[in-house]
Chain A
Amino acid sequence: MADQDLELVQRFQNGDESAFNRLVSRHQHKMFNLAYKMIRNIEDAKDLTQEVFVKAYQGLKNFKGQSSFSTWLYQIALNSAINYSNSKRWKNLVSLFEVKEPTAAWGNPIQEMRQDQMNKTIDNAILSLPPKQRAVFVLRHYEELPYQEIAKMTGRTEGALKANYFQAVKKLQKKLSHLR
């Protein structure tokens, strides 16, 4: 996997533009999921995912391969998502006018309504975490990355990350305790 990325990066650095499209295809789902878990809005997450790849394109000529391409891309996505969360631009809009894409086939309307409410409650709980703490939670819980790798991405110590993760979990517990 990583070797294929490296080969594509080298091809791009040698002038093969099509190699970049391949890199996008290989990582687009992962980057979208990370963006969505961080900002909890489908349209914004789509936009942010595009932005991540535009930035990757701009920086790829200078990519030295000191970390894997995937880690490097995660770093860009994470910083973009944190920054996005910090800006007021989307904060005021969050979830107010969101139109969710249909995600399942026809089903029981009551169950769908319940699911929708459940999703919103979880979205709001996760959005209430401070962006950097949210990032640690998303990387650890959803992406299941080891602390060591998160430490490389964020420049924090593993101890600090563990404490951060714990704090995030405690806050979510409070917010979501009524769900179970």
Chain B
Amino acid sequence: MRKCDQYQVKLIDFLKKELSQEEEKDLAGHLSECPTCQFELKKMENLLEALKEEQNVELSPTFWSSFPAQVRERIESQKKRAKGFKPSWVLVPMATAAAIFMAVSLFKVDQQNLAKRMSGPEGTIVWLGGATNLSEFAAEAEEAVKDLDQAVEKEYWQNEDLSILLAELSDEEFNSLEEKVKNLKF
């Protein structure tokens, strides 16, 4: 990293007075003799000023007073749905397929296109050009996301939104899932 880059990374914290005394002194010394960084500082100042013009969103007190009740309602409705009948022989392959579907959609597969392609004959899934028997698809998918299976089984039907489960993944887990999905061969 160039010397100026090292200083420029700190400019915004300098403007917000969030550097240590030592860092601030060091940066001020550099600024006094570097026109490039002075120019960068001016640009940062302008940015902060522009962002200050942004108006905050205020929701009505009525909305906030009823908000905990709305959350409670959503929790109760999810609990009710979670009590539905779900035999495990349906649950595991379905959840696995759902995991793959959601994961792939996150990796920028054209969803509209996918929806069109998925309308294959009964019991098959039409996927990237070829029809795959749903049970074969589920078996391959199960292998690929085996680490997720249990979590999916437990969480998916409760939440009815796999994005919630995926959001819980750490970067490492997410990357690992991404790799597995990318390497799937159908």
Contacts and interface: CB of A to CB of B under 8 A. Distances in A.
B57 A103 contact: yes
A46 B71 CA distance: 11
A124 interface: no
A25 interface: yes
Mostly helix, strand, loop or mixed at chain B's interface?
A: helix
A79 B172 CA distance: 13
Nearest to B166: A83
A173 B75 contact: no
Interface residues on B, range: 35 or more
Contacts of B59: 32, 42, 46, 101
Which range contains the number of A residues in contact with the other chain? 35 or more
Nearest to A104: B55
A24 B67 contact: yes
Given A46-B59, A84-B167, 6 more contacts: A25-B68, A32-B59, A50-B67, A115-B53, A173-B46, A177-B43
26 contacts: A25-B67, A32-B59, A42-B57, A50-B70, A50-B74, A51-B161, A53-B71, A54-B74, A54-B78, A55-B159, A55-B167, A57-B75, A76-B168, A79-B168, A84-B163, A87-B105, A88-B105, A101-B59, A119-B54, A155-B170, A155-B171, A165-B12, A169-B44, A169-B47, A172-B51, A179-B46
Interface of A: 21, 24-25, 28-29, 32-33, 36, 42, 45-46, 49-51, 53-55, 57-58, 76, 79-80, 82-84, 86-88, 101, 103-104, 115, 118-119, 122, 141, 154-156, 162-163, 165-166, 169, 172-173, 176-177, 179-180
Closest 6 CB pairs of A and B: A83-B167, A179-B50, A180-B46, A79-B167, A24-B68, A21-B68
